[in-house]
């Protein structure tokens, strides 16, 4: 398989993962915002903020993985860990900045982040499972030269 075909396949895979998890998460976010409206407009805005954080952070993870998919595994791991660390720091800064504001419902943000994160992860795993990416070569075509028949 050429590197162009492999890159196209990886791009399709990341697109499938994004589509498979983004739409259900947006539905969950809308449900959280509507439920928040029954409580107060503040809860609805808080739910929207929580959903935005989840969708932004999880989409960023897929984007980073897509951009680094052709790099050596150690480089991918380094980039992913750095991006994870940056996201945790940004989340900490956001949570610190809004800890005492009166226009935000901490309960609504927390519930929405939890619900949207669980929905995203469930549907991302579901999309990944449907991709049928082999972790081994079922045809044995990737055997090393001279190693084809070692029975």
Q: What is the mean pLDDT of residues 3-7?
A: 47
pLDDT for 79: 92
Output the six-digit token pair for 15.
């697109």
Alpha-carbon span 45 to 97, nearest angstrom: 16
Give the other-Cβ count within 10 Å of 4's Cβ: 8
* DSSP per-residue codes, 70-120: TS-HHHHHHHHHHHHHHHHHHHHHHHHHTTT-TT--HHHHHHHHHHHHHHH
Alpha-carbon span 8 to 70, nearest angstrom: 11
Alpha-carbon span 19 to 31, nearest angstrom: 19
pLDDT for 131: 84
Q: Is the pLDDT of residue 3 over 70?
A: no
Q: What is the mean pLDDT of residues 71-99?
A: 90
pLDDT for 4: 47
Give me the percent of the chain exceeding a pLDDT of 90.
49
φ, ψ for residue 83 (rounded to 5)? -65, -35
Q: What is the mean pLDDT of residues 111-140?
A: 85
């Amino acid at each position: 398989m050429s590197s162009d075909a492999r890159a196209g396949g990886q791009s399709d895979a990341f697109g499938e993962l994004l589509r498979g998890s983004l739409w259900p998460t947006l539905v969950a976010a809308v449900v959280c915002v509507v439920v928040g409206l029954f409580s107060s407009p503040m809860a609805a805005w808080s739910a929207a903020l929580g959903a935005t954080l989840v969708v932004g952070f999880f989409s960023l993870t897929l984007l980073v993985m897509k951009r680094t998919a052709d790099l050596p595994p150690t480089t991918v791991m380094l980039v992913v860990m750095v991006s994870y660390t940056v996201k945790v720091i940004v989340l900490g800064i956001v949570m610190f900045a809004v800890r005492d504001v009166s226009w935000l419902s901490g309960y609504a943000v927390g519930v929405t982040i939890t619900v949207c994160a669980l929905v995203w992860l469930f549907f991302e795993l579901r999309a990944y499972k449907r991709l049928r990416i082999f972790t081994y070569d079922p045809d044995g075509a990737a055997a090393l030269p001279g190693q084809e028949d070692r029975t």
